[in-house]
Structure 1
């Protein structure tokens, strides 16, 4: 009973948070649908949880959370990996314990017992591949190949040396302070994987997200079909209409059917809602990373572009202020110009939009959707031409 109430509270809180940011009620959740979900996954939920702990327990509670964050996320350790295995194992056990006894059923055959197990095994294989594969470590032996694979764009990346590794720093690489190594085409460090996501294992990370999205969708639909099958097998609608005299309409039957399901199959309903919410969050996270792949951008580069955009915006504002001052001085000497049409000013692009478009055009690594996707699926370091670069140079 305690586990059921825990699932109820978790599901309701998560649902309220998801509805709030999807509706854009909080200022931090502005932007596109994918941007809101990504912000929620990376910053929003944790930020509000930290504020809640601070409000309830004060600075001691906040410091305790920060110490846990440092231990789990800012240093190499397998805690989150163990937690992932515990979560996926626990959810699968609860589904098997509450749903497998109804298979085969009216809508699902007994084969889904084995299909679900295979789905979990494949998900764990993707997890192992992402966690223990080489993310694209830059060493003295392969730095020349990476220097040739990713030319400097002279905007975000310029020729320099890694102060820690003491080797030339290829474009799009970053020295991970947690793993203490340079990683080619660095995206981010994933605490769940206890590994960096970079040039060589980004494809496995995308596969992990996609597979778990499909797995959660499959689980929520399968549980829903189990419940629908029980309604058919027990002839609940027939009993309600014939023996209890309820009108055979959706409006009249729905409250009684829901009440019966909540009384008899509350664990299954909570699992279905939980998997559906996780599917929504995974869909946003996966969509965000697919968009990065299609534009040949990384999470690390997204922050770099934002910094560059802020700098460019300030520079444009300074130039605009100087031009306005110069124009005001000249207006004192000449007749004032007629005011600009309000409609023309309304439809004119803002300087920020112009800067965004300009920066998008400056991304020299964007070579088209298919080429960008091919670079992720077949990274440069896995191609024969990559290993031949050193031979030619020698």
Structure 2
């Protein structure tokens, strides 16, 4: 058996795809993401090709320069959101899952047959507010606060906001600020292109491509600007889309949001300017995988183990007179004579002494033979 080093992303569960040796992490459903790229790049290309030359000459050369900078910022935020780990939580190891199951069974006791077991929930206190941690039957863990399991990516995501098909990834703890900056900058870019398209139509004759850009920007404007406004509202309250849809902190039963600072500026600073947490997946870490090898390749290394030198040979080799053996370990002539029985009349001649015997033993053997004859 030999070990082959593989990256950990190759063995990660879930429905994510990885590229560039684990550096890029996305969802498997990326068709809408490609549509997003096509709409942004296509609209900006038409604007740079037809409107910007005329506007740079007749209005200001700063118009295309600012549009290019804004375009690159939008693309950077989009790729940063789409290609990053949103905060996926690793699943429990088999030993950990077994230990958690034993803890749950010990806490719930024996449930009678036919009765439904109690829900697997743990309570923690955050800012004097009780928050329930739910158990994930897929990942075999108690999810941290604000985490949820994405059914599309089949992974638990920390501070799960939503799964966005437009960016081809989940939006969570590690990429939410980039998602918000993407929607905000895309709104500014859409408004910018829409405005100067109208200016170009007014200043110049009717052009079909310009009208096409105006229509695309008009319909994009409502959705993108509306999405940006909705997430601005959530950031001001320090909420997530998942919490808003479920009504987790709607005020019912006197349940308040324990994560809100009751201040819009503090909430915005925490979400947009807080620390960037490292990924807990270790996607590019190395792990060893056993793989079988042929017997011929393993023969040189295993020959010494399968055919060891017998212990008797090691013991007798040290009794050869030519070896440097301690004096007390060498056998005496008398001892060898006592151990070798004398032959009797009628018995067959004694066999020859093995080569390992000493010269003194050979002399005594020849004397005994002469006496018998």
Q: Quickly name the TM-score band, shorter chain normalised.
A: 0.5 to 0.7
Shift of 1:196: 0.8
Q: 1 CA distance for matches of 2:128 and 2:164?
A: 26
**Unmatched runs of 5 consecutive residues or more in structure 1:** 1-74, 142-146, 231-260, 310-355, 384-394
One of 34, 48, 69 as aligned partner of 1:96: 48
Contact preservation (8 Å) 1:152, 1:171: no
Please name the residue that 2:222 is paired with: 280
Aligned residues: 222
In 1, the alpha carbon distance for the partners of 2:237 and 2:253 equals 12
SS class of match (2:258):
coil
The equivalent position to 2:166 in structure 1, one of 160, 173, 192, is 192
Task: Report deviation, 1:359.
Answer: 6.0
Matches within 5 A, 1:258-297: 261=205, 264-297=206-239
CA distance in 1, matches of 2:196, 2:46: 14
Change (3 A) 1:359 1:111: farther
The yes-or-no answer on 1:76 pairing with 2:28 is yes
Q: Does 1:298 align with 2:243?
A: no
- 1:118-168: CA deviation from partner (whole Å, max 9, x where unpaired): 322221111001011221222379xxxxx99967954xx513432211222
Q: Distance in 2 between matches of 1:364 and 1:215?
A: 36
From 74, 82, 87, the counterpart of 1:131: 82
Q: For residue 277 of structure 2, what is the aligned residue in structure 1?
A: 382
- Residue 223 of structure 1 is matched in structure 2 by 197
Q: 2:223 aligned with 1:364, yes or no?
A: no
Task: Kindly state the Cα deviation for residue 185 of structure 1 after the two structures are TM-superposed.
Answer: 0.9
Distance 1:84 1:299, change over 3 A: same
Q: Which residue of the partner structure matches residue 137 of structure 2?
A: 163
Please report the RMSD computed on the Cα atoms of aligned residues, expressed in angstroms. 3.1
Would you say the 8 A contact 1:135–1:196 is kept in 2?
yes
State how far apart, in whole Å, the 1-side matches of 2:162 and 2:54 are: 43
Distance 2:127 2:45 in 1: 49
* CA deviation string 1:191-231 (max 9, x = no partner): 1222110111110000000000000111011222223433x
Larger Rg, first or second structure (1 or 2): 2
Distance in 1 between the 2:209 and 2:140 partners?
56
Using structure 2 for the length normalisation, give the TM-score. Answer: 0.53
8 Å contact kept, 2:36–2:167 = no
User: Does the CA contact (< 8 Å) of 1:150 and 1:172 recur in 2?
Assistant: no
TM-score, reference length from structure 1 = 0.50
Alpha-carbon contact 1:135-1:198 (below 8 Å) kept:
yes
Distance change >3 Å, CA 85–CA 158, structure 1 → 2: same
Q: 1:270-317, CA deviations, whole angstroms, 9 ceiling, x for partnerless residues?
A: 422431332232221111111111111111111221xx79xxxxxxxx
Contact 1:123/1:208 (8 A) holds in 2: yes
Report how far residue 357 of structure 1 moved.
Answer: 4.9
Q: Which has the higher helix share?
A: 1
Q: What is the distance in 2 between the residues matched to 1:151 and 1:80?
A: 40
* Partner Cα distance (1:151, 1:190) in 2: 30
Structure 1 residues 379 and 148, CA gap change in structure 2 (3 angstroms):
farther
CA distance in 2, matches of 1:280, 1:128: 23
- Structure number with the higher strand fraction is 2
5 Å-filtered alignment, 1:137-152, equals 137-139=88-90
The structural deviation recorded for 1:358 is: 4.4
Residues 177/265 of structure 1: CA separation in 2 closer, same or farther (3 Å cut): same
Secondary structure of the structure 1 residue equivalent to 2:141: coil
Tell me by how many angstroms 1:78 deviates: 2.2
What is the alpha-carbon distance in structure 2 between the residues aligned to residue 100 and residue 276 of structure 1?
A: 19
Distance 2:251 2:125 in 1: 26
| Alpha-carbon distance change, 164 to 85 in structure 1, aligned in 2, over 3 angstroms | same
| Relative contact order, higher structure (CA 8 A, sep 6+) | 2
Rounded to whole Å, the distance in 2 between the matches of 1:148 and 1:136 is 21
